[in-house]
């Protein structure tokens, strides 16, 4: 029961990350969750002498990092619904401002989300990028069989699958909607409600 619940939480948050990143890349020509990709784009910009684009990608990375710092220092004592709701508002607001600022706001939103939920079902994972999750998945698969290991494999596998599905959802939303970021924003609000419910009832549940 708990594994299914945690799987749903993982999928929901990774759908946010994948959809927002796909929308941002297609609309803003940058990533807002995958800072590895932005670092590569920054290196290319430097070699090709595109100073403006280089500064742009530095600002996106800085916005993401700043949001993580704020979330871990100022919001760590608040209920998880607070940073996740702020994330949703920021994603929605990113549609209403110019592309550069909109991308930075979206990057800050995903930094906030990733810092707000660092573990699901006792498994450390990221929900707005998947490179680290794949490394953790490989490590989990290589270990001896055990129920705890199996839970890790399931949840870490779900991050990549859900992130991919989120990218599909984001690309489709960009084609179909005038304000596509409303999709990850709505998913984040749903995630905030689910996380709040789960955490409030966790002490009353019997582990499976």
CATH architecture of 2-201: Up-down Bundle (1.20)
What are the tens digits of pLDDT across the range 92-130?
A: 999 888 788 999 999 999 999 999 999 998 899 999 999
CA 34, CA 103: separation in Å to the nearest integer?
12
Structural domain boundaries in the chain: 2-201
What are the tens digits of pLDDT across the range 132-165?
A: 999 999 988 887 566 667 888 999 999 999 999 9
96: exposed, middle or buried (Cβ count in 10 Å: 0-12, 13-18, 19+): exposed
Evaluate if pTM is beyond 0.95: no
pLDDT of amino acid 161: 97
């Amino acid at each position: 029961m708990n594994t299914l619940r945690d799987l749903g939480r993982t999928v929901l948050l990774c759908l946010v990350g994948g959809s927002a990143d796909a929308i941002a890349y297609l609309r803003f020509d940058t990533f807002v969750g995958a800072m590895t990709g932005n670092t590569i784009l920054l290196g290319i910009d430097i070699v090709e002498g595109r100073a403006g684009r280089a500064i742009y990608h530095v600002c996106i990375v800085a916005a993401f990092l700043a949001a993580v710092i704020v979330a871990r220092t100022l919001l760590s004592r608040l209920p998880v619904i607070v940073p996740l709701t702020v994330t949703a508002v920021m994603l929605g607001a990113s549609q209403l401002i110019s592309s550069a600022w909109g991308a930075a706001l979206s990057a800050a939103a995903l930094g906030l989300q990733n810092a707000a939920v660092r573990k699901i079902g006792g498994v450390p994972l990221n929900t707005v990028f998947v490179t680290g999750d794949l490394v953790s998945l490989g490590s989990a698969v290589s270990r001896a069989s055990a129920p705890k290991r199996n839970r890790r494999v399931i949840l870490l596998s779900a991050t990549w699958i859900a992130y991919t599905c989120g990218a599909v959802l984001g690309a489709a939303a960009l084609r179909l909607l005038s304000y596509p970021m409303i999709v990850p924003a709505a998913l984040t609000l749903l995630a905030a409600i689910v996380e709040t419910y789960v955490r409030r009832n966790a002490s009353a549940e019997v582990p499976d």
